[in-house]
Amino acid sequence: MKLNIRTKADTTILFQSSEIQQVAVNLANNAAYAMREEGGTLSIGLSSITIGSDSPFEESMRPGRYVKLTVKDTGTGIHPEVQKRMFEPFFTTKEQGQGTGMGLAVAYGIVKAHNGVIEVESEVGKGSMFTVLLPQYDVLSTKEQEEETSLACPRKERILFIDDERAVVEITKTVLERLGCHVTAFTDASEALNAFIEHPDSFDLIITDQTMPGMTGTALAKEALDLRKDIPIILCTGYSETVSPKKAKEVGIRELIMKPLTKQEIAEAIRRVID
Ligand SMILES: Nc1ncnc2c1ncn2[C@@H]1O[C@H](COP(=O)(O)OP(=O)(O)OP(=O)(O)O)[C@@H](O)[C@H]1O
Ligand SMILES: [Mg+2]
């Protein structure tokens, strides 16, 4: 069996995540299994694409940069009836005891948790191609960019960061730390607020997501400002969310930035609010 791997630079970051590796491994295992009898070629591609508002993929996808992973085989192909059900947990066409049927269900769960999509094209007898798209966060940068933005937190400012998506928290924390900031991060808004209530003077800046279960970023900002009216707050909103700049300003929020956040945007917003 032949193996082709094509990659382009700049897309490695997400693959440091063991979960994303698991997606790739599950897809590759399935591809290999589909070619076990006749042999064939497994091709794995990794590239970076930009999705505009006329995306051919799911309409719900936010425009922006995405990492695209493709896993292609020249194996048996997948019958349409199987395609309909293959992402279900425990669905398998393998003989009893041969497979758990969890490979694709797990892959699907991980991709969804990273705000991505997974699609399949397949023809019986010809083979299949799975395409995974994941929002790309610009963590990697050249040395120059590194130097340019490294002064975002020149005094090692202490940041309270809140986003309900664990993947976003992990990635943004890495970005902020590279920018020289000291980060305390939460996925739960009320836990974050409690931490702030307990030690309001141990933070220099709050960066919060707007849409979260239990408490919005705006509500959190209000509570925090009640306690310390000088605390700078940056609110991050999704593409389709509407928080008017006027409303944000009334609450006392200093900056609104749109997700997915790039390193450059975060650095600039931080500098504007702490200067
Ligand atoms: N590349 C592929 N080519 C052909 N069929 C596939 C391919 N990928 C998935 N399938 C079909 O989808 C079904 C479900 O895949 P999934 O990975 O969830 O479970 P499995 O491979 O059967 O079991 P396990 O992953 O636990 O070994 C497979 O049984 C197979 O019928
Ligand atoms: Mg499998």
Give the pLDDT of residue 57: 59
Q: Which ligand is nearest to the CA of 89?
A: 1
Q: Could you list which residues have their CB under 5 Å from ion ligand 2?
A: 30, 103
Which amino acid is located at 81 in the chain? E
Per-residue pLDDT of the chain in tens (275 residues, 90 and over written 9): 566 655 554 444 455 567 788 899 999 999 999 999 999 999 999 888 888 766 565 556 777 788 899 999 999 999 999 999 999 989 999 998 888 999 999 999 888 878 789 999 999 999 999 999 988 765 444 454 555 556 688 888 999 999 998 888 888 888 888 888 999 999 999 999 999 999 999 999 999 999 999 999 999 999 999 999 999 999 998 766 778 888 899 999 999 988 877 788 888 899 999 87
Cα-trace Rg, the chain: 22
Q: Which ligand is nearest to the CA of 104?
A: 1
CA of 222 from ligand 2 middle (Å) equals: 48
Q: For position 126, what pLDDT does the model report?
A: 97
Q: For residues 122 and 17, what is the distance between their CA atoms, to the nearest angstrom?
A: 28
What pLDDT is attached to residue 1?
A: 57
Nearest residue CA, atom 30 of ligand 1?
93
Ligand nearest, relative to CA of residue 93: 1
The Cα 235–Cα 249 span in angstroms is 11
Q: What is the pLDDT of residue 13?
A: 46
93: CA distance to ligand 1 center in Å?
A: 7
d(CA 85, CA 171): 32
* 125 conformational bin, left if phi > 0, alpha if psi -120 to 50, beta if neither: left
The answer to whether residues 5 and 119 touch, using CB atoms and an 8 Å cutoff, is no
Measure 92 CA to ligand 1 centroid, in angstroms.
6
pTM, two decimals, is 0.56
Q: What's the confidence (pLDDT) of residue 260?
A: 75
- Are 17 and 139 in contact, with CB atoms under 8 Å apart? no
* 116 Cα: distance to centroid of ligand 1 (angstroms): 20
Residue closest via CA to ligand 1's atom 28 equals: 92
Beta strands in the chain (DSSP E): 2-7, 41-51, 64-73, 117-123, 127-135, 158-162, 182-186, 205-209, 233-237, 255-258
Model pLDDT, residue 3: 61
Strand ranges across the sheet with 127-135 = 2-7, 41-51, 64-73, 127-135, 117-123
